[in-house]
């Protein structure tokens, strides 16, 4: 495991879900909440994946509370793989639990995900957007890294979402990402010369997310 706090268990749709929470190191109150989803469980994906860790670090360094978790059947989480359906419910349960902390009341909400986790995060984002008319909270930010457009039906996302893809991704090809993004007029940030797991480019990925959060923070303050 990459260095992180100990995990804890929360109640989920089919038993316990294993969760890790990280706050700003300086002890300041978080400026918002991000929940981050990991890659495909049946291919070894966990919340300790290096890309997921990089996303968490970028948000924490920007002052956010970052919550990541293991999908059902992974690590200490109960249950079994549900082909994406139950995994969406898992992320919604983690989000609902995290939002019970009064310190986050009225603060921005972000969702993030890598690969399969990008599909889940985009799907949860759509669920939350659909619930806004009935009093739900609209997510302020969405960060997707190589969302699994070649394997799952990833819903459309707002054009202010950050989508990052490796030029040489052989798991979710760049052509698939562009085919998904083109009808939406959605910009895609392409990192040259790197593949699906951003080997050698994790610092670049963190910086891209950090820049995006800084720009969004300036926009909110206007």
CATH of the domain at 21: 3.40.50.1820
Q: How high does pLDDT run on average in the chain?
A: 96
Domain assignment present for 110: yes
Domain assignment present for 111: yes
Domain assignment present for 170: yes
* Structural domain count, the chain: 1
Residue with tokens 């994906």: 45
- pLDDT at position 222 is 65
Domain assignment present for 147: yes
Residue with tokens 């910086």: 207
Over its C-alpha atoms, the chain yields an Rg (Å, rounded) of 16
Residue length of the chain:
222
Tokens of 94: 């983690």
The whole domain housing 114 covers 8-221
Q: How far is CA 27 from CA 14, 33, 60, 103, in A?
A: 34, 15, 11, 13
Domain assignment present for 1: no
Rama region for 40: left / alpha / beta (φ>0; ψ in -120 to 50; rest): beta
Domain assignment present for 156: yes
**Other CB atoms within 10 A of residue 15 CB:** 13
- pLDDT at position 90 is 98
Kindly give the parts of the chain with pLDDT less than 70. 1-3, 222
Domain assignment present for 172: yes
Domain assignment present for 2: no
């Amino acid at each position: 495991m990459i260095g992180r706090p100990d995990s804890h268990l929360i109640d989920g749709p089919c038993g316990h879900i294993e969760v890790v929470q990280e706050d700003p190191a300086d002890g300041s109150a978080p400026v918002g909440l991000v929940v981050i989803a990991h890659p495909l469980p049946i291919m070894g994906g966990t919340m300790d994946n290096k890309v997921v860790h990089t996303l968490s670090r970028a948000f924490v360094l920007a002052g956010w509370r970052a919550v990541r978790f293991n999908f059902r059947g992974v690590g200490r989480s109960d249950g079994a793989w549900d082909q994406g359906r139950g995994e969406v419910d898992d992320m919604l349960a983690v989000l609902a639990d995290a939002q019970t902390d009064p310190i986050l009341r009225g603060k921005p909400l972000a969702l993030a995900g890598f690969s399969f986790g990008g599909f889940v995060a985009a799907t949860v984002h759509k669920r939350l957007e659909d619930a806004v008319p009935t009093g739900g909270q609209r997510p302020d930010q969405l960060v997707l890294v190589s969302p699994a457009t070649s394997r799952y039906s990833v819903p459309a996302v707002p054009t202010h979402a950050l989508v990052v893809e490796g030029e040489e991704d052989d798991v979710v090809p760049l052509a698939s990402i562009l085919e998904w993004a083109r009808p939406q007029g959605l910009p895609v940030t392409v990192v040259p010369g790197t593949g699906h797991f951003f080997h050698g480019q994790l610092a670049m990925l963190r910086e891209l997310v950090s820049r995006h959060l800084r720009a969004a923070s300036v926009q909110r303050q206007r």
